[in-house]
A and B are shown apart, each in its own frame.
Chain A
Amino acid sequence: MSTAAVDTAPRAVGLDPNRDPVNDFSIVAATVNGSGSQTANSTLIRALFKMGIPVNGKNLFPSNISGLPTWYTIRVSKDGYIARRDTTEVLIAFNQQTAAQDLAALPVGGVCLYPEDAKFERSRDDVTYYPLPVKKMIADLGVDKKLVDRVANMVYVGALAQLLGIEREAIREALSYYLGGKQKAVELNYNVVVASADWARDNLPKQDPFRVERMDKTEGLILIDGNTAAGIGALVGGMTVTAWYPITPATSLADALNEYAPKLRKDPKTDQPTYAIVQAEDEIAAIGMVLGAGWMGARAMTSTSGPGISLMTEFVGFGYFAEVPGVIWDVMRMGPSTGLPTRVSQGDVLKAYYLGHGDVRNICLLPGNVQECFEFGQTAFDLAERLQQPVLVLSDLDLGMNNWMTRPFEYPTTPLDRGKVLDAEQLKQMENWGRYKDVDGDGIPYRTLPGNENPMASYFTRGSGHNENAGYTERPDDWIKNMARLARKHETARTIVPKPVVDRREGAKVGIIGYGSTDPAIVEARDRLHSQLGLETSYMRLRALPLGEEVRQFVAEYDRVYVIELNSDGQMHKLLQLHTPEYATKLVSMAHNDGLPLTPRLVTDQINEMEQTR
C-alpha cells in the first residue's frame, strides 16, 4: 500500500496554476525499510527547518524490521500548515517494489527522482523525471564497501538539494545534529551530498517549478517528537519510578526517559539518580510496580499501547477503587493484538475511560500537540495525586513518533501538586481520621503514606468493599456510600482536568469537535472551508475526560457538531452523546480509520458533502 494510493482524491488533479510552488509542496521518500534512509530523511527535514521553512515529517512505515516498503513524507508549507497532505508532488522512488504505484500516485506535473541503475519504468509522460546514477556515484567516491548501504541514500539528498535549492550549509548542520557531531561520519555523508549535488547541477537541467527559499518562520522553534516531549515532561514533572514493557509506538517514550533522566535528574550533591527505571516482564508487572510506588507516595508512570492497557485492566480498576495514583501513557496504535502496530489510531478512548471492572471511570488526558505531551508530563502526575487514581494519557503514534515544530518548552512555574497527604504532625492535630472520609465534600479523601509514624496513620488498602475507615465491609449501604463519593470525585475531576481549547467564529452554525493528533488537519480544513466554500465553523479541541460543562455549552450553540476522530465506531462521538443526551442528534460522527494521519481534505470533503445534502 502506498501512502498516496490510499488518498481518496483522484490522481491527475494537476497542479493549481494559482499556487506558488515555492515553499509549498510535499516530498515523499519511498525506500526499503532498514536501508538507512532514516538519516537521509531526517537530514532533509531538519535542513529545511534550519532554513526557517515550516515543515512536518511523518514516517509511514510497516511493521517490519527490514525489507518492506516505507514512506517518509515531508510537508513544506510557507503558511505553517503541518497536517499530512493528500498529494505529494516530489517523489523519491527508491523502492523498486512500489515504484510503479508511487509513480501512479503523483499529480500531473509532479517530480520523480529514481536510481538509474535500478529497474524503473517511466510509465507516465506528465511528470518530470530525474534519474540518478547512484551506484556509479558512490563507486566514484571510493566509499568503503561496508559503508555503501549507509550513505547511498545521501545521493537523493544531494540531488534534491540542488534541484530544490536546499542550502548545503543547512544540510551539514542537520547531518551534524543526527550524527551526534561525529566528524568522520558527517564528512562521509556530506561528501556524498556534495558530489551528488554537483553532479545534478552539471547533468540535470531543472524542469519543474518546485523550490525552497530561506524564510524566518522557524526561528526559536525546536523539532521534537511527542514521546520525547512526554519523557522530558515527566522528568520535569517529578517522575521517580517508571516501569515499562516494550511495545510500538510507546517504546520511544521509555527510551527518552532512559536517555534524558541521567542528564536531568541526578542529585547534584551525591550524583546519584533521583529516579528508578525498570523494564518489567510484562504490562501487568509494569502497572503493578507503578501502583506499588504510587501507594508509597512516589510519582510513578508506565508507557504502553492498547494491548498493554488491556493487560493492565484489573490493576487499573484496583487503583481506581483503592484510590492509588499512577500514570499510564497509552500511545495509541491500530487494532487488536498486534493489529497494525505501526499505524495510528484513536481506538482506545472508550476502553481507557472505562478501563477496570465495575463502575470505573478514569481520568484521560488528550494531548493534541508536542507542547501538551510535555505539559501533561507533569499535569498527569498532579491529577493522579490530587485525585488519587490512575490517570491515562491518550497520545498516539503520529504525535508520539513523528517530529513536530514547536516553541521550546518552558520550565514549569507551578509547584508539584502532591494532593491531600497527611503527615504525622497533621494527624496529631486531628481527633480521628478516616482514609475514605469525604471531609471537604469534593469526594477526595485524605491519605497517609506508609512510613508515617503516627499510630493513627496505618490502614489497609484493598480492592474489596471498604467503609470510610478502610475497614472491610459488605454492607450494601457502605458500598453505595463509597460509590457515591467516587462519583462525587469524578464530578470534581470534571472541573479540574485541562479545559478544551475553543475557537468560536462569528456567524458559525457548524461546530467541530476533535482531539489529539487530528488537530492540524482540522485547523487547515477550517481555513479551506472558509476560503474555498465560505463555510464558517467553530472548533473545540478536547483535552481531557471526563467532559465538562463547557462541552455541553459548545454543543448547545451549534446546529450541527461534527466529531472528528481516528477510529471506526466514533468512540468520542458516543461519549459526547452520553454527556449531552439532549443534543445527541446534533452530534455527527466523522470517524475515520485507515491507519494514516488525517488529511485536511478528508475533513473538508466530508463536511462539505454533509452540509450540501442538508
Chain B
Amino acid sequence: MTTAAKPGGPPAPKATVNKAGLSKPDYRGLPSTLCAGCGHDSIASQIIQSAFELSLKPHQIIKLSGIGCSSKSPAYFLSRSHGINVVHGRMPSIATGAMLANRNMLAIGVSGDGDTGSIGLGQYKHMLRRNVPMVYIIENNGVYGLTKGQFSATADLGQKLKYAGTNELMPIDLCLEAIIAECGFVARSFAGDAKQVRELLKAAMSYNGTAVLDIISPCVTFNNHAESTKSYTFGKEHEEILQDINFVQAYEEIEVDYEPGSVQEVKLHDGPTILLRKVEARKGGKGEQEGTQATNGEVRYHDPTDKLAALRLLEEAREKQEFITGLLYINESRPTLLDLERLPETALIAMSEEQLRPSREAFAAALAEFA
C-alpha cells in the first residue's frame, strides 16, 4: 500500500514559501473523489510537490485530460491553473491546439491506459509525431476503472479479472509506441515509488517537447489482486529500477554526491540537469537482498540517450514480463511543433488586432489577382 497522502484536504499549518512566493497548499486542488488508495492520487500528490519544488506559477500551467478515473485527477491538483477535461481519448488534439494558441504555457496532460491505449491511440501517436510540448502522464492500471473493470490495451497477457476473465491479447507498450514515434522523453515509473515519480515529473516539466510518463498506477478496486501485474504488490516486488534519478534545477548548484564515473548527466533545454546513477538491478520477491544482480548475473546498465538500447530494453522486459522503471529514453534535438510552425515568441493569443489583420495594401493586392 502506498503511503502517499491523498491530495486536497486542509492546508498545512506552517507553510514554507518557494521562489514563486507560494506555499505548497497553493498547488493543491479539490479533495479527490477517487477510491481511497487509488494510485492516481499518489501521482497527483507528486505533481503538487514537483510544481511546488520547481516554483512554477500555477497560472502559467494548463491541465488537460480525457475521460476516465485518471482523467478526473486534474481537478485534484493545481486549482489555480485553468483545466479542461475533454472527450475520451482526444486530449492530445486539445493540447495541440492550446499550445499553438499560447506557446508560453506549460501543459500537463493526464490520461489513462484505456484513454491513451485504445480510443486515443491515434491521437497519442500523432501528438508524439508532432512533438507537442507537454507533459503527458499515463496513469496505467491495465484496466478500465470508471466503467468498472474491463481489460485495457495495456493489460498483460494472461491477466485475470473478475468479470472479464483472462486476457488473451498482447499488451500495447505505450513507452515502446512513444519511442518508435520519436518521442524525445520517455519514462516509466510506479505510483508507489514517490521519489522516482517526483524526479521524473520535474525533469518532464522542464523538457522542451512531448515528455511521456507511463506510470503504473494500481486500481485498488478492480485490479489489485495478487496475480495482477499492475498491483501494488507486484510493483513493489518486481520493480527493477534502472537508475537513481535526481533532477537539478538550473538555478541550483549541481552537487554530485554519487561516485564519479557512474553518474550520467543529461542537460535539458535552458540549463536544468538530470543526474542518473546506475543501480544494480533488483530481482525477486520479498526477502531478497536489495542490490542483488539481475537474473543472468549481470549488472544492467542503460544509456537513455541510446534509442536502440531503449527499444531492446523494453522488448526484453516485455518478453520476460519484467517491470523496469526509470528514464528510458531522452533526446532533446527534435524540433517541436511550435518550431516547425515557425511561430513567433509572442503567443498567438497575445497578438494585437493589427497583427491579426492584413495590411490594406496586401489585401488589395490579393484581391487584384481575381480581376
**Do these two chains interact?**
yes
A296 to B100, CA, bound (A): 9
A25-33, A360-368, A450-458: which one contacts chain B?
A450-458
Interface residues of B in 325-360 (CB under 8 A from A): 337, 341-344, 347-349, 351, 353, 355-360
| A 223-247 to B, binary, CB cutoff 8 A, 1 in contact else 0 | 1100000001001101011010000
The residue in chain A whose Cβ has the minimal distance to the Cβ of B67 is A463
Indicate if the CB atoms of B353 and A416 lie closer than 8 Å.
Answer: yes
The answer to whether B90 has its CB under 8 Å from any CB of chain A is: yes
Indicate if the CB atoms of B84 and A265 lie closer than 8 Å.
Answer: no
Expressed in whole angstroms, the minimum distance between the Cβ of A593 and any Cβ of chain B is 31
Expressed in whole angstroms, the minimum distance between the Cβ of A496 and any Cβ of chain B is 20
The residue in chain B whose Cβ has the minimal distance to the Cβ of A456 is B80
**Which residues of B lie under 8 Å from residue A270 when comparing CB positions?**
344
B100 is contacted by which of A276, A282, A460 (Cβ under 8 Å)?
A276
Indicate if the CB atoms of A298 and B100 lie closer than 8 Å.
Answer: yes
A451 is contacted by which of B87, B99, B104, B342 (Cβ under 8 Å)?
B104
Q: Given that A222-B370, A293-B101, A452-B59 are contacting pairs, would A460 and B83 also be in contact in the complex, using a CB cutoff of 8 Å?
A: yes
Indicate if the CB atoms of B349 and A300 lie closer than 8 Å.
Answer: no
Indicate if the CB atoms of A461 and B83 lie closer than 8 Å.
Answer: yes
The answer to whether A272 has its CB under 8 Å from any CB of chain B is: yes
The answer to whether A158 has its CB under 8 Å from any CB of chain B is: no
A267 to B343, CA, bound (A): 11
Interface residues of B in 33-60 (CB under 8 A from A): 57-60
Indicate if the CB atoms of A240 and B356 lie closer than 8 Å.
Answer: yes
**Which residues of A lie under 8 Å from residue B126 when comparing CB positions?**
280-281, 285
Indicate if the CB atoms of A451 and B358 lie closer than 8 Å.
Answer: no
A264 is contacted by which of B104, B130, B343, B362 (Cβ under 8 Å)?
B362
A268 to B99, CA, bound (A): 23
Expressed in whole angstroms, the minimum distance between the Cβ of A502 and any Cβ of chain B is 29
The residue in chain B whose Cβ has the minimal distance to the Cβ of A296 is B101
A412 to B359, CA, bound (A): 11
The residue in chain A whose Cβ has the minimal distance to the Cβ of B97 is A292
The answer to whether B164 has its CB under 8 Å from any CB of chain A is: no
The answer to whether B194 has its CB under 8 Å from any CB of chain A is: no
A278 to B94, CA, bound (A): 13
A574 to B341, CA, bound (A): 45
Q: Could you say which interface size class chain B belongs to?
A: 35 or more
Indicate if the CB atoms of B98 and A293 lie closer than 8 Å.
Answer: yes
Q: Given that A293-B97, A298-B101, A411-B360 are contacting pairs, would A458 and B348 also be in contact in the complex, using a CB cutoff of 8 Å?
A: no
Indicate if the CB atoms of A450 and B98 lie closer than 8 Å.
Answer: yes
The answer to whether A99 has its CB under 8 Å from any CB of chain B is: no
The answer to whether B122 has its CB under 8 Å from any CB of chain A is: yes
The residue in chain B whose Cβ has the minimal distance to the Cβ of A228 is B370
Expressed in whole angstroms, the minimum distance between the Cβ of A465 and any Cβ of chain B is 12
Indicate if the CB atoms of A276 and B348 lie closer than 8 Å.
Answer: yes
Expressed in whole angstroms, the minimum distance between the Cβ of B210 and any Cβ of chain A is 15
A272 is contacted by which of B104, B343, B357 (Cβ under 8 Å)?
B343
Indicate if the CB atoms of B349 and A298 lie closer than 8 Å.
Answer: yes
Indicate if the CB atoms of B90 and A284 lie closer than 8 Å.
Answer: yes
Q: Given that A450-B62, A450-B102 are contacting pairs, would A463 and B85 also be in contact in the complex, using a CB cutoff of 8 Å?
A: yes
Indicate if the CB atoms of A241 and B90 lie closer than 8 Å.
Answer: no
The residue in chain B whose Cβ has the minimal distance to the Cβ of A223 is B370
A322 to B94, CA, bound (A): 13
**Which residues of B lie under 8 Å from residue A463 when comparing CB positions?**
85-87
Interchain residue pairs A-B with the least CB separation, the first 5: A288-B93, A292-B97, A289-B97, A264-B358, A298-B101
